[in-house]
Amino acid sequence: MAGCVQALIATPTVTLNDIAFAVVSDSVEVIHGFGTREVVGASAGGDSICQIVSLNITEAFGMLKFAVHTTLDNHDILLRFLGVQFLARLTAEVTGTDNITGDTLTLSSSQGTITNNPTIKFGPGGQIDIEYKGRSFV
């Protein structure tokens, strides 16, 4: 059971193909990608009702969303990863550390691709939003 004092994992590290990105604060989101479960009821006669549970595999992929600041380096890396040679060939890893206990959470995915058409925002606070989809994060 978790203790009463816990720390948020507030400073995650994001890497794509072993290249670490300095991410915009509070921009990192991960969906594990285990798929959604559908539950419906079925009559079993009389007052008896059965649950029918199925796995919706159309959503069984991992997703990572994060933002980086608009810099020449980040733009160049992004352009390279958007190339055809990286379709379903990116690996992603997100690591975060509990600042109180030092425990680490690491989530990894493979066979991924950048799926959005990134918008490059210029100026102070400019950022590039990146979305990755691949195998489930484990």
pLDDT tens figures, 33-67: 999 999 999 998 988 999 999 999 988 999 999 99
The phi-psi region of residue 113 (left if phi > 0; otherwise alpha if psi is between -120 and 50; otherwise beta) is: beta
Rounded distance between C-alpha atoms, residue 90 and residue 23, angstroms: 18
Task: Determine how many CB atoms are found less than 10 A away from the CB of residue 71.
Answer: 13
First-last CA distance in the chain? 22
Sign of CA dihedral 17, 66, 99, 105: negative
Residue % of the chain over a pLDDT of 70:
96
- Domain positions in the chain are 13-134
Neighbouring C-alpha atoms within 13 Å toward the C-beta of 30: 22
Contact between 59 and 35 under an 8 Å Cβ cutoff? The reply is: yes
pTM: 0.85
CA distance 65 to 126: 16
DSSP 18: T
Mean pLDDT score, 10-20: 93
Q: Binning pLDDT at 50, 70 and 90, where does residue 20 land?
A: very high
